[in-house]
Chains A and B, each alone.
Chain A
Amino acid sequence: MVSSLRCSRGVFQIPAALALFILAISWIGAWSVLHQWRGRVALQLRLDECVGKTARLIERDRNRLERSNHVIQALRASILAATVQPELRPPLVAALRVEFLGQELLRKKLLAQAVQWLVQRGCGSRADIPLPFAASGWFRLPDDWIGPRPLQWDPGIKREVRLVLSRNGRVAAARVYDRGLKRESNAITTENTWQSEWVSGHFGPSLP
């Protein structure tokens, strides 16, 4: 390069090198901008996946809880009907007790999910910010002479769970809600009453 400055040979090398240098810097700059855009999309997809998976898990467990409630109602009705045939009563009472225990385990799991959501900050990424959600609005009245009663929903609590997870201005949100299907009081239904959907949680800056 020095010899190029001294003589006329290779005099183009310096401007050419400068041009290539500027080109390389421009490339690196542009690449970093594109990389940043892609990073934000990747972040959004990761947050969505975390929220979506959790919402589907809550949906599944709440539907299981509802179905279990219907089983308990049906068993109680059967026990009531078994007063005319007392020999049928013990197995029905045992089945009711098993169903009740299973339901209680599921309730504990719902509570654990709500705690885990906060403790793990969503799905385990430390910089993510989760909003807390209510574990459930179910309560159970004390046992009567038939046995454990089905769960009831606290009328003061909305039948909906909102999951919100954010990071760096990107937000993922979903809600798990009761579709409000009309239920027969003693019918065992396989239809899911709880459903989940994406909702808006966007309050950060948009991409260019």
Chain B
Amino acid sequence: MGLRSGNDSGQVLAEFGIGATLVTLAIIGGAWIFRTQWERNQCAIWSFESAHLRLTGNWKPPTGLKQKTVQVLETPEGVQAVGRCGPVVETVGLKKLAHIPW
């Protein structure tokens, strides 16, 4: 590891300390990225599903966690769902069929 140690146990201790720190940081960083991505995806999908259900007239007021996170608004051209999941805000807009330029 490039550290000079007087004996083997010192070397092991140094390796352990540095290695443990790096692994812990990697796990914490990975977990943070994973959690953020998970929430972002879940939020986006909840928002999409809520908007889609409202647009097709199959929408029911959400219950549980979704109730807190997704707000569905009707616009003249369609439906907009805003999902708030912790620090993540995901907005999904879907248009009514008559307003899509196909």
Contacts and interface: CB of A to CB of B under 8 A. Distances in A.
Interface of B: 8-9, 11-12, 15-16, 19-20, 23, 26-27, 30, 34, 37-38, 41-42, 44-46, 48-49, 52-53, 55-58, 96-98, 100, 102
Contacts of A38: 41, 45
Contact of B97 (A20, A55, A207): A55
**What is the predominant secondary structure among interface residues of chain B facing chain A?**
helix
A: contact size bracket: 35 or more
Given A52-B102, A207-B49, A23 B26 contact: yes
Interface string A155-167: 0000000000000
19 contacts: A11-B12, A12-B15, A12-B16, A12-B19, A13-B19, A20-B26, A30-B34, A30-B37, A34-B38, A37-B41, A37-B42, A44-B48, A52-B100, A53-B102, A56-B100, A56-B102, A196-B98, A198-B55, A207-B45
B99 to A, nearest CB: 10
A19 B37 CA distance: 21
Interface of A: 7-13, 16, 19-20, 23, 26-27, 30, 34, 37-38, 41, 44, 52-53, 55-56, 173-174, 195-202, 206-208
A33 to B, nearest CB: 9
Given A8-B9, A12-B16, A12-B20, A52 B97 contact: yes
